[in-house]
Amino acid sequence: REGDSNSGSGLAHQLVPGRACLERMNILKTIALGQMLSLCICGTAITSQYLAERYKVNTPMLQSFINYCLLFLIYTVMLAFRSGSDNLLVILKRKWWKYILLGLADVEANYVIVRAYQYTTLTSVQLLDCFGIPVLMALSWFILHARYRVIHFIAVAVCLLGVGTMVGADILAGREDNSGSDVLIGDILVLLGASLYAISNVCEEYIVKKLSRQEFLGMVGLFGTVISGIQLLIVEYKDIASIHWDWKIALLFVAFALCMFCLYSFMPLVIKVTSATSVNLGILTADLYSLFVGLFLFGYKFSGLYILSFTVIMVGFILYCSTPTRTAEPTESSVPPVTSIGIDNLGLKLEENLQETHSAVL
């Protein structure tokens, strides 16, 4: 017995460093995936700004429409060829109205944020857009039963401090040139867009973890194409008709669509292994990547506060990822959830019950 105890203690000491190494690898993986999404967002921002400043093309709905068409052609068609409960027609019969609301939230979130720039200032957009993070955490608490620790709230506060530093750097660098035509309307649009993004992200996390990534992307592609196409004809047909097309403008549209398609395709993968809140904290660095690129393309002035704000945001993001959130199970359910950890616990419980039954029989 003493030998077994010593061997068990030695095995435990061997497992602890291995588990710590695995946790560090998971944090690094999460950071890398989050920054990959930030680079995709940076690509969409740079191409949009290039279209607007160099070619006077402001067609955000057309750009989103192309992305939704790509999602439709890939993922919706993929669902159409599936069989059983994953088939497109079966999904539409059961949940069509839910996906219409999801598609509407996703399309309008993209649209109102872009329109907000016409009314309010860059500072207001960058600051108020962070309103989506507490909304997202509240929705995750009630809908996904996520439970946060004190360190998570501290991490979010650190990230928001980094955003504030970035905004301060923008003001000092002289990027706050446009005062906006109607600041109140613009601020309301930003808050609305941030809230719609939060709703869309919570729904995305629920679908990719409970159902499948293909179902989410296929349904968003289907209804996003329909909704954005109708809205495109209503609000942007004059802007599209006035575009003087050439290969450079077409190339920028293609680059935007590819960045947006990669963002939509990879984000469910990242959310599945982390959470929607973690992803939204990680992509706060997207504005900074856009600023760094803008130093060369648009002649932005450099400020050391940009480096400081990037560091602060990354510290908050790592702090958030260092401690996993837990999920509160419904009180009426006594069966452990079937997850990668839950299966092991369930197997141990069944083994204990079998041993007790065998002892009773003897």
What DSSP string describes 91-145?
HHHHHHHHHHHHHHHHHHHHHHHHHHTTTS-HHHHHHHGGGHHHHHHHHHHHHS-
Tally of domains in the chain: 1
What was the pLDDT predicted at 85?
85
Closest C-alpha among 47, 34, 287, 279 to residue 167: 287
How confident is the model at residue 16, as a pLDDT? 54
Match 């990879």 to its residue by tokens: 266
- Give the pLDDT mean for 239-256: 92
Asked whether residue 7 is domain-assigned, the answer is no
In a domain, residue 14? The reply is: no
Would residue 164 count as lying in a domain? Answer: yes
| pLDDT for residue 173 | 67
Burial 293-306 (b: 16+ CB within 10 A, else e): bbeeeeebeebebb
Which tokens in the block code for residue 229? Answer: 């196409």
Residue 216, domain member (yes or no): yes
Would 250 be classed as within a structural domain? yes
Neighbours of 328 (CB within 10 A): 10
Per-residue pLDDT reduced to its tens digit, 290-328: 888 877 877 777 777 888 888 898 898 888 888 888 887
Contacts of 179 (CB under 8 A, 6+ apart): 121
What confidence tier does 98 reach under pLDDT thresholds 50, 70, 90? very high
Contact at 8 Å (CB) between 312 and 171? no
Neighbours of 136 (CB within 10 A): 26
Q: Is 274 part of any domain?
A: yes
Q: How confident is the model at residue 233 (pLDDT cuts 50, 70, 90)?
A: very high
Query: What's the CA gap between 27 and 104, in Å, rounded?
Result: 33
Q: What is the pLDDT of residues 104-150, one digit of tens each?
A: 999 999 888 888 877 776 667 777 788 889 999 999 999 988 889 99
By residue range, what is the domain housing residue 89?
Answer: 20-328
Residue type, 172: L
Q: Name the helix (H) or strand (E) containing 147.
A: strand 146-147
The pLDDT value given to residue 295 = 78
- Amino acid 230: pLDDT: 95
Question: Do the beta carbons of residue 206 and residue 140 sit within 8 Å?
Answer: no
Give pLDDT, residue 343. Answer: 39
106-115, 136-145, 166-175, 209-218: the lowest-pLDDT one: 166-175
Q: Is 343 part of a structural domain of the chain? A: no
Average pLDDT, integer, range 255-284: 91
Whether 357 shows a pLDDT value over 70: the answer reads: no
Under DSSP, the state recorded for 326 is E
Mean per-residue pLDDT, 21-27: 75
Given pLDDT bands bounded at 50, 70 and 90, which one contains residue 40? very high
Give a yes or no: residue 356 inside a domain. no
What sign does the dihedral 52-58-61-63 (CA atoms) show?
negative
